[in-house]
Each structure stands twice: as C-alpha cells, then as structure tokens.
Chains A and B, each alone.
Chain A
Amino acid sequence: MTERSATTSPVLPPLDAVGIVREAGLTAFVVFALTFSLVGFKVEDVPGGLDIVTRFDQVLAATVLAFTGRVVLILLHKRRHLPVILVGLAIAAVILGLVVAARGAPESATAAWLPFESVVVNVLVAVAALVLAGRAAWSAWRRDVGVSDEAVELAARVHKAAIFLGPLMLGFAVVLPFLPFADRRLLDIAILVVTYVMLGWGLNIVVGLAGLLDLGYVAFYAVGAYSYALLAINFDLGFWVCLPFAGIMAAFAGILLGFPVLRLRGDYLAIVTLGFGEMIRVILLNWYEFTKGPDGISGIPRPTLFGLPFTRTDPDGGETFHSFFGLTYSPLDRIIFLYYLILILALVTNFFTMRIRRLPIGRAWEALREDEVACRSIGINPRNTKLTAFSIGAMFGGFGGSFFATRQGFISPESFTFIESAIILAIVVLGGMGSQIGVVFAAILLIGLPEFFRELQQYRMLAFGAAMVAIMVWRPRGLLAFRDPTIRLSDHDTAPEKQT
C-alpha cells in the first residue's frame, strides 16, 4: 500500500550514486573472487602434458555483467525504469547486430568486438538485456516494482488456466512422437524430461505437500532401479511383474528412512536425508557380491508390450512387436514405447497426488507442513502421517528407478549421486512447492533446455545456477507458488457474494 501511494507522487527521491556504485561494486567483487580461480584458469591437454590457459577476458566479462545487473536491479527498485529500458535495448541491439554482421565470418574484425567467442553466449547476453528491459517496461507500466501481487496474480491465473492448459499439454505429450519434427534426439530429451516430471511429482508429495525437506530422494530412485535389475536378472521376471515389487521395496526404504527422522524438521531433516541418500549409494558401491559394486549391472531386460519385444528378431524365435502388428521394423518403436511408458507412470503419479490431496491423509500432510503442533491438537498422528508421506513419495521414486533401469539396460552407483537429488528438489522448489503444473514447467526449464543447449558446454551449469538465483530472487516461493483449496461448497458458492 505504501509503495503504491508513493508512486502517485511524481517526485522521486534523488539517487545515491556513491551507495549504488558501492553496492554494485561489492557484487562485482564477489563475482570476480568466485570466477577468478574457477573461470580464469583452465587446464588444457596439450601434446606432452597439461598446460594452464588463462581466460581473464571472461572473468572481466562476468564481473562487468554482475556490476551492470546489480545497478539495473537497484535502479528498478528506485523506480528509474527509463534508463534501464534504454540501456537494455541498446546493449541487445548492439550485440545482436554484431552477431548478425559477423555471421559466417568468425575471424573478422566485427567478431572481435563481440564480448564472447561463443555465438550462443552472445545471444544469451542479448536476450538477458532484452528481458531486463522488458521487465522494466512492464513494471513502469504497472507502476509497481518487485514481486508482490503481479506474481501471485500470474500464478493464480496459470493455475486457473491449468484446467485447459493441463489437458492441452497432455494432448501435446500424447501426440508428440507422431509429430513431423519428433526425431530420436527430441524423443530422448522428452523421455528424460518426463522422467524428471514424474520424479518431481513424486518428491512433491514429500516436500511440497508434507513439507519434509528431503535431500536424499535419489536413494529411492536407486532402490527401485536395483530392485528391478536384480529381480529381473536373478529370477528372470518381466518388467511389469517387477515394477510393483520395486515400488514396494522403495516404499520400505522410505519407511526405514522415516523412522529415525521423525523428530527432525527443516535443516536437520535435510542433512539426515542427504546422508541417507549417500549411504544407499555407498552400500551399492561396496556390497560387491550383491550389486557388483562399481562395475554396475548390465544386460537388464528391456520392457516388452505384453511379452512382445521391440527387437528386430526375437532371440527365442517368437513374435516381436513389429511382426505381430505387421509393421516394418523401426528402432524408433522402442523409444516411442519407452516414452509412453514413462508418460503413463508420470500420469499415474499425478492422478494419485491430485486424488490423495482430497483425502484425509493428503489433507493431513498439508496440515503437517503448516503446523505440527496444531495437527496434534486436532488428533492427527504425526508419526503415521510422516511415514506415509515418505513411503508413498519413495514408492514413486522406485517406479521411476525401475523405468530408468529398463531404459538404460545398465545401472551403476554413479547414476545415483547427490546431484540427482538436488536437481529433482530444484524442480519441485522452482515449480512452486506443491504445484503440479509448476513441476512440469520447471522440469522443461531445468532438464529440457540444458539438453537442447548442450553446445553451451561448461556454461550450462553456470546458466543453471544463474536461473536458480534469478528465480529465488524474484519468486522466492517458486515459479507458480499457488495453492488451490481442496474443498469448495458449490451450493453456497452460487449465492451472490455480499462482502468478502
């Protein structure tokens, strides 16, 4: 309210130039200190050994960018939109102009003016400048800077639109393999994205609904993968028989984890779950007789459609998928099948979560997230509530793991490191805790885009980090943090609202 009333007065307080430079300088210094050793020196393979290459130009670029970005943010907070818009547009125009001019002539003098060697990085910088300018314009128009209502409004609108957006995206996901541009690479990325969507939805039960910060979710992914691999190889069982077992094993692991951490909350819980995730990985690594340790397990059976394999010929001489349906053999069939498999698993996870949110146990999870003491005082048993959240979340992680194993055909403990847990958690948190559609967007953003931008190489993780920081600054509660009530009184709703 105070902000709004302030905007009505046209006189802005004068800018404190020294203060701004000092603050931006501090930011730039931190970036400089970080990048100096990390980016500034690079060890390179040269004939006859290793050599150190310096890249101080990039350190300088990062420092300047940080300085500029900080100044821009301060200016926006001080309602100086115009300079930001102008400078942003100017930078974007210059860089894009140079990129276009230097196209096809990377050694030319024009190209030397570009801040970075990589075209993609140049374009990204230009886009960043454009985005900042656009944002400044938007808030100038709204006369309102900062997170506040517009973000909440947007989230609410997206969630309203989810009624249409959900089925639309689902329809797109269903027809995706048959679209003309769906090649092997795109499908592989799509499978990866949907896998993470499913894992995000699974973890959302634990983190988003029950509010239990779990940094070791990959442990259940691993348990599911190894359960499937070992059952399938040692007992010669098929994917569909093993899947429920893998889920049960993972759920059991969830309960095992749940018991010791029942009394913990927040940071402490996060640390213990992190340790649990590492423990599972170390066990897999060292229990050689059972898990083959670092060698991993290979030859994991591929999934079949009711016993029909997706190979050119069946080794046992039986029918295969293409011969049974009278199709010509295509190696893409198996990829498409895997895609639909994970899509179905993900949809089951989503459907389950949406349902259970409306059941007493799901409501108890949400209540537990909000206030454990209050939960006890209304007769909810926190122990059972937490354990069910852990075990059901873990079960979906286990399903995901089984899928991973059957898709890869090979698993080793290396696939189940902490970074996986971190990425899945990032998807949940960025998506907006508890938001199902937010998870989809976050997975596309965090998994899909980096896969597409593999050319960025080492900048990929940097961009990942930058995106995380940006979202945490602007949307600290996640991209689409918004909670839909699970109950409405429709008969009362039709009555006209007198006052709200």
Chain B
Amino acid sequence: MLEVSGLHAFYGHIEALRGVDVTVNEGEIVTLIGANGAGKSTLLMSICGNPRAAAGRILFEGGEITQLPTHQIVRLGIAQSPEGRRIFPFMSVLENLQMGAAVTDPGHFDDDLRRVFELYPVLEKRRHQRGGTLSGGEQQMLAIGRALMSRPRLLLLDEPSLGLAPLLVKQIFAVIREINEQQNVTVFLVEQNAFHALQLAHRGYVMANGKIVMSGSGETLLADKEIRAAYLEGGH
C-alpha cells in the first residue's frame, strides 16, 4: 500500500533521513520505533511531503506521491495525527472533527461522526468543549478522531501514547487495533513506547540516526536481545 524507498530528507544542511526503505501492506499495523531524534517524525512528515524528499520515492497504492503537495496527498486517503496532537485549541471538539472532514463528501459527515463517537464516547460528552481544555488523553483521542473523519485508508500516527498514563495508553492502543480490524484502516504507528507498539503491530521497523537498522514481525523484535536492551529494559 505504502512503499518508501531510498528516502533522504534534510532540514537545512542536517540530513534527517539517510536512505529509508519502509513498506506497509494493506490491512497491517506497522510500527516504527527508535530513540529520540532518530528521524521517526521526519519520516512520517515527509510521507506527507513536508519536508519534501530530497532523493528516493514514495508510492501510495502504486501511484507516485513523492512530489505532490501535502494537501493533495491527504486527499488520496492518507490521514495523519501529527506529533504533539496539534488539535485546534480554540475550536470545539465538534468543530475539530468537522475540520477533519474538510476533504470528504459532506454527506458522510453524520455517519463518520457517529463512528468516531462510538470509538471515543468521551468525545461525544465533550463535544462542545474547546479542544484546548481537554485532558491530554482526550486530546489524543480527538487527534485520532479528527484524522479518521477524512475516511483514510492509511492512518499515520506519531507517538499517540506520549505523556499518557499507562491505563490510557492501553486504551488508546486497544482502539487503534479496533480501527485497524473493524474499519479496515491500515496503520503506520510511530512510537517510543516500544513494548506496547510491538505487541500491537504485525510488523515493526527500528530506526537510528535516520536509517532503518532492523525490521521484522512484532514478536521477533520483542524477543530480540538488542532491542530489549536498547528500548525495553530500563526506560519502560
């Protein structure tokens, strides 16, 4: 579904991605783990064209999207919940969700809204509250909900568990599985919380210094000695 090959990306002179190859197949949950500053967020962002790939190709459902403007990429069916959630703080929950549906046929709005409220009942309770006044977990749900409102076939999530209490993390991850299984949305998940992410994902990639250093199924990576040493023991 998504095929990234030989991707290089820069911030000024800093090379943040140094030849990345990643494949995500339809129906999968694929996770990307790695230390802070490895380039995970950059990869997610450059799939959407910002920063633009300096070299390499990005294919989505067989079509080349490497040079498309960001807003057009989103229209193809890729939705992103960016790092730091980036909900609209002065808009109500409902308006945030409405913004997520900006690129779809307005006829779907009611159905899509109901689906999001089913996934996250708390959002329905808070629907008239300003986005900025939600708790961290609720904001994360809103960010994912907003992304879902555009009826994506591929959902890109950047650290949805960041700053959340362990119980909430479990909940967020359970819903991601639900989105994947019941709504047939392919998920590409960037996480630092390697343990949960690898448990959830079908396959995983490990990134360091702008390169993919390891890949395999979730279980293999979880069992890997080096990964346990680097990402699982100690911190988590």
Contact = CB atoms under 8 A, between A and B. Distances in A.
A381 B50 CA distance: 13
A380 B102 contact: yes
Interface in A51-109: none
Nearest to B97: A487
A378 B128 contact: no
B91 interface: yes
B71 A370 contact: no
A498 B125 contact: yes
B188 to A, nearest CB: 14
A498 B121 CA distance: 13
B169 to A, nearest CB: 23
Interface of A: 360, 363-364, 366-367, 370-371, 373-374, 376-382, 483, 485-489, 492, 498-500
B66 to A, nearest CB: 16
B95 A378 contact: no
B86 A377 contact: yes
A377 B125 contact: no
Contacts of B48: 376-377
Nearest to A493: B128
Interface in B62-93: 69-72, 74-75, 79-82, 86-92
Given A377-B82, A489-B127, A366 B91 contact: yes
Interface of B: 48, 50, 69-72, 74-75, 79-82, 86-92, 94-95, 98-100, 102-103, 124-130, 146-147, 150
Contacts of A360: 102
29 contacts: A363-B99, A364-B99, A366-B90, A366-B91, A367-B88, A367-B99, A370-B88, A370-B91, A373-B50, A373-B86, A374-B86, A376-B48, A376-B50, A376-B71, A377-B70, A377-B80, A378-B74, A378-B79, A379-B71, A379-B75, A483-B91, A483-B130, A485-B94, A486-B95, A487-B98, A488-B94, A498-B125, A500-B126, A500-B129
A265 B91 CA distance: 21
Most buried by B among A377, A379, A487: A377
B148 to A, nearest CB: 11
Contacts of B129: 500
Given A363-B95, A363-B102, A377-B74, A485 B88 contact: no
3 nearest A-B residue pairs (beta carbon): A379-B74, A379-B103, A374-B86
Nearest to A385: B71
Contacts of B94: 485, 487-489
Contacts of B89: 370
A55 B127 CA distance: 61
A381 B73 CA distance: 11
Given A373-B82, A485-B128, A378 B92 contact: no
A492 B100 contact: no
A380 B91 contact: no
Contacts of A500: 125-126, 129
B100 A378 contact: yes
Contacts of A374: 82, 86-88
Contact of A376 (B70, B90, B91, B146): B70
B102 A378 contact: yes
Contacts of B124: 492
Contact of A371 (B80, B88, B98, B126): B88
B86 A487 contact: no
B104 to A, nearest CB: 9
A214 B70 CA distance: 26
A436 B146 CA distance: 28
Contact of B92 (A367, A485, A498): A485
Contact of A370 (B80, B90, B103, B126): B90
A486 B127 CA distance: 12
A492 B86 CA distance: 27
A210 to B, nearest CB: 13
B88 A364 contact: no
Contacts of B125: 498-500
A378 B90 contact: no
Given A363-B102, A367-B91, A378-B102, 12 more contacts: A363-B98, A370-B90, A371-B88, A373-B50, A376-B50, A376-B74, A377-B147, A378-B74, A378-B79, A380-B102, A485-B94, A489-B127
A498 to B, nearest CB: 7
B173 to A, nearest CB: 21
B146 A378 contact: yes
A492 B127 contact: yes
Which of A371, A374, A380 is the most central at the interface, judged by chain B CB atoms within 10 Å of its CB? A374
Contacts of B128: 485, 488
A380 B50 CA distance: 14
Nearest to B49: A376
A487 B128 CA distance: 9
A376 B86 CA distance: 11
B82 to A, nearest CB: 5
A492 B102 CA distance: 22
Contacts of A498: 125
A379 B88 contact: no
Contacts of A487: 92, 94-95, 98
A488 B92 CA distance: 9
Contact of A483 (B69, B81, B90, B150): B90
Q: Which residue, of A363, A485, A489, A500, has the highest number of chain B Cβ atoms within 10 A?
A: A485
Residue among B50, B81, B98 with max Cβ neighbours from chain A (10 Å): B98
B93 to A, nearest CB: 9
A487 B97 CA distance: 11
A82 B36 CA distance: 55
B48 to A, nearest CB: 6
A203 to B, nearest CB: 19
Contacts of A363: 95, 98-99, 102
B9 to A, nearest CB: 16
A364 B128 CA distance: 19
A380 B127 CA distance: 22
A133 B48 CA distance: 58
